[in-house]
C-alpha cells in the first residue's frame, strides 16, 4: 500500500538553494523494534509514529521510547482520482505537495514528480542507488533516504540538482524512512529494521 503524506509544503521560495542546505544529527537512539519499517510520521508535539510493514503502528516519545501502539481502523471511502505513473517497484513511498505527487522507485533508482493530471513533470535518476523514504522541506525540495548507499540526499524542487546531506560516515545504516516537522525544521530518520531513530536538524544557510 502506498504511503501517502498530504502535508503542507509551505511556499516554494525562489531564494531557497540546496547548496546552502545542511543536515545535522542531533541524537541517535537505539529502539530495537526489530521489525520491518514501512513509514514514519512526525507529530507536531515532538513525538513520532513508526509503522511496521504489515504490522503495528507505534507511537514513540521524542526520545525514542515506545509510548503505545495504535489501532489500525478499516478505511472506507471512494476514489476521488487516480493517475497512471511509471515505476519498476511498488508504490510504497510518496508525498503529495502543491498538487504534485512525488514518489521513489527503488528498483528503478529514480525519483519521479507528476502533476494532478498525470503528466510527468520531472524524473531524477542521477547518483541514486536505492531511494526509499522521502519528504519535502519548507521550500518544496525533496529529501530522500538512499537505502543502499546509507546516505540522505536532497533533490531540488525542479528535479534538476541534488546534494548529499549525510553520508555513510554518520553511521545511519540502511535508512528507510524520513519525516520532517516544518514548524521546527527538524525531523526523524529510521532504518529498515527499526533498530534506531535519529533526530536531525535542517538548515538552509
Statement: residue 12 has pLDDT above 60: no
pLDDT tops 70 at residue 202? yes
CA angle 184-185-187, nearest 5°? 95
Which residues in the chain belong to E strands, given as ranges?
A: 3-5, 22-30, 37-42, 48-52, 57-60, 66-70, 93-97, 100-105, 110-115, 120-124, 131-136, 142-146, 151-155, 162-166, 175-181, 186-191, 196-203
Say if CB 159 and CB 146 are below 8 A apart.
no
**Local confidence band at 16 (pLDDT 50, 70, 90 cut-offs):** low
* pLDDT value for 2: 47
Instruction: Give the gyration radius of the chain's Cα atoms.
Output: 16
Whether residue 191 contacts residue 38, with contact meaning beta carbons closer than 8 Å, is answered with no
Taking the C-alpha atoms of residue 114 and residue 112, their distance in angstroms, rounded to an integer, is: 7
Mean pLDDT of the chain: 89
Are the C-beta atoms of 193 and 23 separated by less than 8 Å?
no
pLDDT tens digits, one per residue of 165-181: 999 999 899 999 999 99
The yes-or-no verdict on residue 20 having pLDDT over 80 is yes
- At residue 15 the predicted structure's pLDDT band, cuts being 50, 70 and 90, is very low
Amino acid at each position: 500500500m502506498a504511503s501517502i503524506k498530504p502535508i503542507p509544503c509551505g511556499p516554494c521560495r525562489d531564494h531557497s538553494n540546496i547548496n546552502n542546505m545542511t543536515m545535522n544529527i542531533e541524537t541517535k537512539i537505539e529502539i530495537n523494534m526489530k521489525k520491518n519499517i514501512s513509514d514514519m510520521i512526525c507529530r507536531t508535539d515532538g513525538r513520532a509514529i513508526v509503522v511496521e510493514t504489515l504490522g503495528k503502528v507505534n507511537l514513540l516519545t521524542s526520545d525514542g521510547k515506545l509510548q503505545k501502539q495504535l489501532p489500525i481502523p478499516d478505511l472506507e471511502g471512494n476514489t476521488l482520482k487516480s493517475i497512471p505513473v511509471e515505476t519498476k517497484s511498488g508504490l510504497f513511498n510518496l508525498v503529495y505537495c502543491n498538487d504534485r505527487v512525488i514518489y521513489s522507485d527503488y528498483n528503478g533508482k529514480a525519483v519521479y514528480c507528476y502533476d494532478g493530471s498525470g503528466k510527468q513533470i520531472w524524473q531524477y535518476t542521477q547518483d541514486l542507488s536505492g531511494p526509499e523514504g522521502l519528504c519535502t522541506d519548507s521550500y518544496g525540495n525533496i529529501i530522500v533516504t538512499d537505502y543502499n548507499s546509507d546516505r540522505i540526499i536532497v533533490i531540488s524542487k525542479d528535479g534538476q540538482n541534488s546534494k548529499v546531506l549525510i553520508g555513510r560516515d554518520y553511521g545511519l545504516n540502511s535508512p528507510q524512512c524520513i519525516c520532517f516537522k516544518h514548524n521546527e525544521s527538524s525531523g526523524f530518520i529510521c532504518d529498515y529494521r527499526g533498530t534506531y531513530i535519529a533526530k536531525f536538524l535542517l538548515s538552509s544557510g
